[in-house]
A and B are shown apart, each in its own frame.
Chain A
């Protein structure tokens, strides 16, 4: 299993540009989620999904869109990038059963200038 994969690893955007961060998992996990981590901080939940076709907001959803058309993929869209969205983005997945662990991807480092 490749586990949780994220692309790209690094990205630089100009303010106002849009882009999609990709996340895929091959473990047939129902739950997937997106987090951001600012320098020296813990992770904050952006959006999450409990299955294909179902998404919900986390702690910091503004400026981000998600959709989940398949079990495997959970892309994160930045509609109009802002410097405040400069961060490292992590995707995670889990089975969603009682207490099952989350598995995280390697992250995407995004810089918005």
Chain B
């Protein structure tokens, strides 16, 4: 079946621009996670949804980062006023509750 999909795959933004990253989870997966992976590092947790409820946003690095999942399916991660330190790969993962997480291909964000 279809896996987790993310778009765009690559995004170049000028410093100060807003960006929106989309995640389509596996059908039927209630849980959805966002991670940030800096170059040469392991992914780091950003935020977690169960259906449309954002249950944990403790990993969001600043109030410029905002995530939503209004209908409990597709999720969008928005970064306002992008900074160079936001350059990273943003990974989305989905799962059934309490089960293995499956990852999308990621969106590589470069802020110039």
Say if A and B assemble together: no
Chain A residues within 8 Å of B, Cβ to Cβ: none
